[in-house]
Structure 1
Amino acid sequence: MGRRTLVNGRYELLQRPSEQGAMGEVWFGRDIRLDRQVVVKFIRFPAGDQAAENDYTRRFVRESRITAHLEHPGVPAVYDVGTHKGRPYLVMQRIRGVSLRTLLVEEGRLPIGWVAAVAAQVCAVLSAAHRASLIHRDLKPGNLMLEPEGTVKVLDFGLAVAPALSNSSLITVTGLMMGTPEYMAPERIESNVSGPASDIYALGCTIHELLTGRRPFAGATPFEVMNRQVRDEPPPLRQARPEVPVGLEALVLEMLRKRPEERLADADVVHQLLLAYVTDLAPIPGVVESPTTPNGVRLYARALSRMLAAGPRPVTVGAFTEGHVLTLRSEQADAFFADGDYRQAAAVYRLLADDVANRHGPLSERALTYRSRVATCHALLGLTDQMSEELAGLIDDHTKVFGPNDHRTVQLRRQFGLRRMGRAGPEGADEARPDIPTDLPRRQSAEATDLNEFVAVRRPFRLNRRS
């Protein structure tokens, strides 16, 4: 297409495409009717492959519909669709900013506070998308744009799965890998199954890369990368960057669990946990303006944040004390537990246990309480091996802190024996259960360390909410 090409008499294109990919090309342009800058995206068909051409067209139409359905400040707006010389096109909002892939090339790695701020904004987009039954399936630094105001746009919903839209979830493109192996969740590789947890996994890979400058799973070939995604554990964040907070490292590890049912998969919860690390947001020269620079977006956001902060649930934890942050997280975990979502509850309780252990020591009473709640969740999920391992560790640590005859230690030992009895029968349980003193006074634990006590307290709320 030459200079000053007009598409349907309305969209003036620049001389060269701003970006080219496997399926198409993106042009910067101008809407001469409304006199505004736009982006025009075209399909580029493979030569002589009618079947692939049809698949490309269907996928392109799907992307248009998906992006148009998803109205969110973090997603570019769709203005128009059409066909020009037999090629479908999509007209979208022009985003002025830099992709995080480009920023990584220039900076090597990003400030911790900015990584948390970017990821939290992505979670806000994922929350809206997942509520609309949309799974992005290709989150990565190259699909995230950072604007001068510090806001983030999530690009390219072309691979999104949208079960609520007819004929949208079964489209494939012959000969193309649907997604990027370096950010692809194990369940997608092994069984081509996508869900909210798949997006959270991709975001975990992205956070790891933004913090360290290196992808957690890399290889010489796509096959090697996918094999590592399925088999290898991610490298420790703090080994590559020691100043990363322990709690943030623990959060990323929860996002990168191999089994989706064990992964922290709720974008709202990940968003809330990330906010605690959104600190020290200094300007990024040439990319993000100084926070003191006035602009319409920041003025609007400032007014909105104050309005929401006046309500019962503040939207930011940046100014909260350590105790307030932990309380909010604990309430979130308790809410999951009350709703019967024990997997998500266990994930948040585990994060709380790690965070408290880092702040106050692994043998602090509160850390032990959260670990007990993790074991409770696993018991209710029927994860007997995990629960038994956790109880054994809790018994050892309670013995160190409170002594072998303390009622909390004895309760845990009793629970361990009862759980083993349920699994292996009375004989197996008798062999495994430690001796329990017969003269121990019967006392109640205010900390709900006993698993049965915690379940008894929480379960009525779950039953009432479901009735």
Structure 2
Amino acid sequence: MTAAAGRVVAGRYELSTVLGQGGMGQVWTAYDQRLDRRVAVKLLRPDKVAGQDAEELRRRFVRECRVTAQVDHPGLVTVHDAGSEGEELFLVMQYIDGADLAGHLAGHDPYPWQWAVAVAAQLCAVLSAVHAVPIVHRDLKPRNVMVKQDGAVTVLDLGVASVMDADTTRLTHTGTPIGSPAYMAPEQAMGGAVGPYTDLYALGVVLHELLSGDVPFSGSTALGVLHRHLYEPPLPVRRIRPEVPEALEALVLRLLAKDPQHRPASAQEVYEHLEPLLPARGTPSGAALDPARPFLRPHAPWPDRARTPAPQPTPATPVTGTPGQTGIARAVDEVKRLLGEGRVTQAVDILGALLPAAAEQHGAHSPVVRTLRKQYAATLLDDGQYRRALPELRRLADERAAEAGQADPQALRHRYEAAQCLEQLGEPAAALAEYRAVLPYYENQYVAAGGPELAHDVRRRIGHLLLALGDRGAAHDTLARLLHDVEHTHGPGHPLGAEIRRTLQWLGQVRG
């Protein structure tokens, strides 16, 4: 099915005019026939993404939309609806009356440095909320940022880059990375693990562009741009704009550090550095599209929000009294039904509310409670709630290892999933240590079921994490040895081998 003016998507959204388009699809203004309002509809083509299974892509798309819709922040575009129709995925969003940041920058040359600070501060507030979930945007750039008429900044496309590429920035069959090379962090360009630090690098590129009028690294080819990201230092902005405060220049250089560990620790930290440079409190001007206008300290991130424990779940279905075996069985059946309908968040809430009562009735270490806790951890993981899943998985791993030994398959699986949580939470060093700890058990085939396959996956993840930590030599050696073993086991045509070979080829080109 092709998009055309007048076409009605999902029986209610009538397409009107094209707002923009790219390799993955189009964005349209549309009319919501049911609620009588203007919306924006993004249409994505799964068949445009090399190497992706269409049904798996649809499943991940819906899951990602569900997770991102839970982020409540005025600096994020509101998601109204999402799904698939025919060969397309669609995302229905709030219509933003304003200009994208790229057009805004082009219309104001030079861009006032106070405006640049105001834009960056608003972006920090958004990223602080997003990273606390945790979600990584992966494609922060001026085209994905809107400046509304009142000067407020709104971020678009949260989660879309993640859907288009499940394992960080995958190379397409043409050898071109998915994403925007001009705004791509070194670890992302090399196919390493991404985290909040990746978005902070992109923020540094955006801030450099606002202050200097150009991105720090440009070139005639994507490979040339990525090579400069990896090896060239950025030009300090005060050499172009001497009026820029020294503290602001220093912050931009920290954000553009090649090593993620040398960047600021969080978006909130960046905000605190920007705050003294924000416009003084007072009456904002009446001019439209002035990004300094909202600042009476509006949407500042909450202190230490990323480290605030998640609230206890509120059950969607009340659990009254102390449930017996029959009550637990009914609740488990309800959870299965909800999961079958894709209502994962409700299933998580029911399990979270059921566990304390079940532990009181049967004992914290009973088989019934152990089964419920495993389902709870697995559901949290599937729902992308990595911060809440991590302690559950660690506890399950420790208890199982104490009973059956460190080489027990279930204990190892829980540790492997805990490492995945650490990876998603933007803790590459901790994830790397955990993967390295479980790898010998899989390599020595202590685990009969799936050992070699899991060993290959763990080694691949180790290689990507080494890239994220800036150790490209070790990453290259790790992936080269893995490629040899994969081809020895499965032959040269295996998909994992092809993926590793592309990454190694890219890595070799850039290093050369």
| TM category, shorter | 0.5 to 0.7
Q: What is the one-letter code of the residue matched to 1:200?
A: L
Which structure has the greater CA radius of gyration? 1
Aligned counterpart, 2:323: none
Aligned counterpart, 2:129: 128
Q: Higher relative contact order by CA 8 Å / sep ≥ 6: 1 or 2?
A: 2
Structure-2 separation of matches of 1:49 and 1:198: 23
Does residue 4 (structure 1) correspond to residue 6 (structure 2)? The answer is yes
Contact 1:134 1:161 in 2 (8 A): no
Structure-2 separation of matches of 1:210 and 1:48: 31
CA 1:173–1:61: 2 relative to 1, 3 Å: farther
Contact 1:55 1:173 in 2 (8 A): no
Aligned counterpart, 2:109: 108
Q: Which is worse superposed, 81-90 or 49-58?
A: 49-58
Aligned counterpart, 2:229: 229
Equivalent residue of 2:277, what SS? coil
Contact 2:118 2:291 in 1 (8 A): no
Kindly state the Cα deviation for residue 284 of structure 1 after the two structures are TM-superposed: 9.4
Contact 1:150 1:288 in 2 (8 A): yes
Kindly state the Cα deviation for residue 143 of structure 1 after the two structures are TM-superposed: 1.0
- Equivalences for 1:240-251 in 2 at 5 Å? 240-251=240-251
After superposition, give the CA deviation of every residue in 1:230-273 in whole Å (9 maximum; x if it has no partner): 11111011000000001111111111111111211311110111
Equivalent residue of 1:146, what SS? strand
- Equivalences for 1:39-438 in 2 at 5 Å? 39-46=40-47, 51=52, 53-54=54-55, 57-58=58-59, 60-159=61-160, 169=167, 172=170, 174-175=172-173, 177-279=177-279, 287-288=289-290
Kindly state the Cα deviation for residue 33 of structure 1 after the two structures are TM-superposed: 1.2
CA 1:86–1:190: 2 relative to 1, 3 Å: closer
Equivalent residue of 2:80, what SS? strand
Structure-1 separation of matches of 2:33 and 2:130: 32
Aligned counterpart, 2:368: none
Structure-1 separation of matches of 2:239 and 2:207: 15
Aligned counterpart, 2:369: none
Q: Which is worse superposed, 219-228 or 44-53?
A: 44-53
Structure-2 separation of matches of 1:258 and 1:48: 28
Equivalent residue of 1:145, what SS? strand
CA 1:230–1:47: 2 relative to 1, 3 Å: closer
Contact 2:186 2:258 in 1 (8 A): yes
Contact 1:254 1:264 in 2 (8 A): yes
Task: Identify unmatched segments of 5+ residues in structure 2.
Answer: 305-512
CA 1:207–1:78: 2 relative to 1, 3 Å: same
Contact 1:181 1:225 in 2 (8 A): yes
Q: What is the one-letter code of the residue matched to 1:288?
A: D
- How high is the TM-score relative to the length of structure 2? 0.52
Structure-2 separation of matches of 1:62 and 1:173: 23
Give 4+ residue runs of structure 1 displaced > 6 Å after superposition.
47-50
Q: What is the one-letter code of the residue matched to 2:253?
A: L
Kindly state the Cα deviation for residue 189 of structure 1 after the two structures are TM-superposed: 2.4
Percent of paired sites with the same residue: 41
Structure-2 separation of matches of 1:248 and 1:289: 17
Q: What is the one-letter code of the residue matched to 2:68?
A: T
- How high is the TM-score relative to the length of structure 1? 0.57
Task: Identify unmatched segments of 5+ residues in structure 1.
Answer: 292-297, 314-467
Kindly state the Cα deviation for residue 87 of structure 1 after the two structures are TM-superposed: 2.3
Kindly state the Cα deviation for residue 88 of structure 1 after the two structures are TM-superposed: 2.4
> Of residues 13, 17, 22 in structure 1, which corresponds to 2:15?
13
Structure-1 separation of matches of 2:94 and 2:49: 32
CA 1:8–1:200: 2 relative to 1, 3 Å: closer
Structure-2 separation of matches of 1:99 and 1:48: 25
Pairwise CA RMSD? 3.4
Q: What is the one-letter code of the residue matched to 1:227?
A: H
CA 1:47–1:253: 2 relative to 1, 3 Å: closer
Contact 1:201 1:256 in 2 (8 A): yes
